[in-house]
Structure 1
Amino acid sequence: MAVGIHRKTIAYIDKQAIIHNVQQEMKRLDKDTVLYAVVKADGYGHGAIEVAKAAKKGGASGFCVAILDEALELREAGFTEPILILGLVDVKYVELLVLNKFSVTVGSLDWLEKANEIIRVNEYNEKLYVHIALDTGMGRIGIRTKEELQEIERWLDGNERICFEGVFTHFATADSPDQKQFEKQVSKFNILVESLHRKPPFVHTANSATALWHKSSSSNLIRFGIAMYGLNPSGGVLSEPYQLTPAMKISSEVNYVKQMQEGDTIGYGATYSASQGEWVGTVPIGYGDGWPRGLQGQDVLVDGKRCEIIGRVCMDQCMIRLPYEVEEGSEVILVGQSQEQLITLQEIADHLNTIHYEITCGLTARIPRRYDNTSIANSDKKTNIF
């Protein structure tokens, strides 16, 4: 996909905000606990490589990704830190796992047996490092019974080719005020781990929500994801134990201005009819950029004033109702602050009845990411771009 460098629709990423958020969490960790920055899905849409650089500067000692290709991207960018792949990887790619020193998630003895044979035949000098996934209630991937886990442990015991580096689970409701499901999963995880004769170096449960609101949960590796980007995992239902600084601002411009007559229609389906004398601006962003069609009725900011998106969002453009005639080229803040007004990713998510994760991950490559050190709270000031 072509990157739109010749228009003014840009996602600004504040690397200092990422550094700050990581540092805030690092202050809360025990001395024997490490923090891995989760940079899957292109750093939740923020840009994996630049986010990884900032997270490392903030104190992250490793990284988590979802797929093998994301891990390879980090290695190719020069990162030598530990990288844990949280998703399952086809066993035929064992060579890439071993030679790049990736840690990989495993959910069955069958996978381990096949991997071991590949390593034996090819006589690799390096070991394969594995983290056993436990399904305690997420219903996604992982071992479910003590018998399965103990069988895997016996098989791994003394294996010279495969290192049992970690065991983990993922909580489904760590961001919820209702603790019943969370406590049920904690109990099941503890029962499974206690069935091991010897714990591996890493026993981990803590995603962002668990790290923020369940500090007592046994975990010596924090998988720090959405909170690193300054976003509350609960969508604001639970209060943050420290201030999270949002890292993303999205801005564009008014590139066309017109005054409408009464009854003039706007957009596909003619779903909006203008009043006499209304000023309407066109903004070059649409669902082809990951700005969803359902954002009709959502506000953006122009000159510190809220302006409603009118008519259906098009693939490449959307239209807004202006309070008065503005100059073409005037800045439009879609996410961020303009004077005293602020639009957050949470507001966008609430409008769409979804979560902010989906919004940032859905932004396409057509929107360039630019990296600076100015926080979103000061986003109306000029910044120095790296």
Structure 2
Amino acid sequence: MDHHFYRDTWAEINLDAIKANINAFQNHLPNETGIIAIVKANAYGHGALQTAKAALEAGAARLAVALLDEALLLRKAGFTVPIHVLGWVHPKDVQIAAEYNIELTIFQLEWLDETKEHISMPVKLHLKVDTGMGRLGTTTFTELKEIVKEIKHSKWLTLEGVFTHFATADEPNSSLFYRQHDRFQQVLQLLKELDSTPHIIHTSNSAAAIQLPEKSYQFIRLGISMYGLQPSPELAPPFQLHEAFSLHSCLTHVKQVQKGDTISYGAAYEASETEWIGTIPIGYADGWLRKIGAQGEVIVEGERVPIVGRICMDQMMIRLPKKMNIGTKVTLIGSQQNERISIDDLAKQLDTINYEIPCMISNRVPRVFYKDNKKIGCVNGFQNL
């Protein structure tokens, strides 16, 4: 895992923070409720393999991803725990999932019909019910009954789980949240009548687990808050979360410019006096969007300083309070001395949600992993090319 990298830009992933967040949820939940660690999208940009390992060490019992490719990556890396693909998988690829003991999501009767032509090994399925999200899931009791009947009569298919996803669990006192919960209760009653109640029932994401821990069934799906982020600004958990992701770079050039000198493409920034300008090797190809530049700030030597000029593909410039040395550390997300720029701060500036921020930092930015306050290795995205 310890691949070297040759540029002064990197993300730091604090695996101890991830473990602490899982432990906090374990203390918040009923004793019988387990945790499914959501490590899709490269663990929300944190590094899927390393995050999954830390999550399991902290007590998570299962893993879940969005894509079959993500599940196969985990299996081929040696993970033996149950792995569930939350999204749609093509019927022709079900056999591959079976070979790697990967659990799949079912919500279409026609999917079952086509799967029969491709399967010759046991596969565990989780029935997804659309109770109000309007994304994936069966929406009628008639189809649900037919799906359950087909699975019962199948030689290779087993109904392992049933789940739904809440659309507004991150909003306090949402009426839709409670309607979805009630509709899911009806689904469970129907499955009971069909003598098909599965082993695993899971509905709660981070937000629902914070709001209604007592209604979490056997498992919660812990995603955003495993990484130390609130599901929404309005929904603070009754315990502390620890942000796991930070982003850093270094000064590669420092120069003094005179009044009237311009910086970057389009000459959009013009110095109003004699100024010190620093260049940093990070840009929009790294996911550090051009839009950040307008009001963006970074931290150098414990002081917030502004981004100046347009952010380029691979570099950007900042206005320094004084002459500084090449190699001086610059923090874009995280803490330096008494200053901090959080993921939520950046999300607010970009008028988006905190989920998007670590996901948008591309794999061109190496991830450096820390455990017990020590660097334990890094992943350089170029190793995967």
Give the TM-score normalised by the residue count of structure 1.
0.92
Give deviations 1:160-204, integer Å, cap 9, x for gaps.
421111111111111112412211211222222222223211111
Partner of 1:60: 60
Question: Which runs of structure 2 are paired with 1:172-321 in the superposition (5 Å)?
Answer: 172-196=167-191, 197=193, 198=195, 199-234=197-232, 236-296=233-293, 297-321=295-319
Question: SS where residue 152 of structure 1 aligns?
Answer: helix
1:10 maps onto 2:10 in alignment: yes
Question: SS where residue 195 of structure 1 aligns?
Answer: helix
Give deviations 1:268-326, integer Å, cap 9, x for gaps.
22221112111111111000101111111211000000001111111111111111111
Give 2:104's aligned amino acid.
V
* TM-aligned CA distance change 1:4 to 1:315, over 3 Å: farther
Aligned mates of 1:341, 1:276 — CA distance in 2: 26
Give 1:351's aligned amino acid.
Q
Deviation at 1:155, TM superposition (A): 2.4
Do the aligned partners of 2:207 and 2:235 also contact (CA within 8 Å) in 1?
Answer: no
Question: Which runs of structure 2 are paired with 1:70-219 in the superposition (5 Å)?
Answer: 70-119=70-119, 122=120, 124=121, 127-196=122-191, 197=193, 198=195, 199-219=197-217
Aligned mates of 2:135, 2:225 — CA distance in 1: 22
Do the aligned partners of 2:61 and 2:81 also contact (CA within 8 Å) in 1?
Answer: yes
Give deviations 1:121-157, integer Å, cap 9, x for gaps.
x4x3xx2100111111111111111121122222223
* TM-aligned CA distance change 1:4 to 1:335, over 3 Å: farther
Aligned mates of 2:237, 2:25 — CA distance in 1: 11
1:338 maps onto 2:322 in alignment: no
Give 1:145's aligned amino acid.
T
Do the aligned partners of 1:129 and 1:163 also contact (CA within 8 Å) in 2?
Answer: yes
Give deviations 1:236-276, integer Å, cap 9, x for gaps.
22222211111111110111111121121112222211121
Aligned mates of 1:356, 1:5 — CA distance in 2: 27
1:384 maps onto 2:375 in alignment: yes
Do the aligned partners of 1:71 and 1:83 also contact (CA within 8 Å) in 2?
Answer: yes
Deviation at 1:207, TM superposition (A): 1.0
Deviation at 1:158, TM superposition (A): 4.9
Partner of 1:378: none
* TM-aligned CA distance change 1:79 to 1:163, over 3 Å: same
Aligned mates of 1:226, 1:48 — CA distance in 2: 14
Give deviations 1:326-349, integer Å, cap 9, x for gaps.
111110000111110011011111
Q: How many residues align?
A: 371
Question: Which runs of structure 2 are paired with 1:14-29 in the superposition (5 Å)?
Answer: 14-29=14-29
Question: SS where residue 384 of structure 1 aligns?
Answer: strand
Give the TM-score normalised by the residue count of structure 2.
0.93
Give 2:162's aligned amino acid.
V
Give 1:280's aligned amino acid.
I
Question: SS where residue 205 of structure 1 aligns?
Answer: strand
Provide the aligned C-alpha RMSD in A.
1.6
Do the aligned partners of 2:286 and 2:362 also contact (CA within 8 Å) in 1?
Answer: yes
Give 2:152's aligned amino acid.
D
Partner of 1:380: none
Partner of 2:383: none
Partner of 2:348: 350
Give 1:305's aligned amino acid.
E
Do the aligned partners of 1:4 and 1:366 also contact (CA within 8 Å) in 2?
Answer: no
Deviation at 1:385, TM superposition (A): 4.0
Do the aligned partners of 2:209 and 2:216 also contact (CA within 8 Å) in 1?
Answer: no
Deviation at 1:58, TM superposition (A): 0.5
Deviation at 1:31, TM superposition (A): 3.5
Give 2:189's aligned amino acid.
E
* TM-aligned CA distance change 1:32 to 1:385, over 3 Å: closer
Aligned mates of 1:221, 1:330 — CA distance in 2: 45
Aligned mates of 1:185, 1:271 — CA distance in 2: 50
Structure 2 unaligned blocks of 5 or more: 378-385
* TM-aligned CA distance change 1:185 to 1:292, over 3 Å: same
More off after superposition, 281-290 vs 191-200: 191-200
Deviation at 1:89, TM superposition (A): 0.2
Deviation at 1:217, TM superposition (A): 2.7
Partner of 2:380: none
Deviation at 1:4, TM superposition (A): 8.6
Aligned mates of 1:240, 1:374 — CA distance in 2: 25
Partner of 2:51: 51
More off after superposition, 193-202 vs 354-363: 193-202
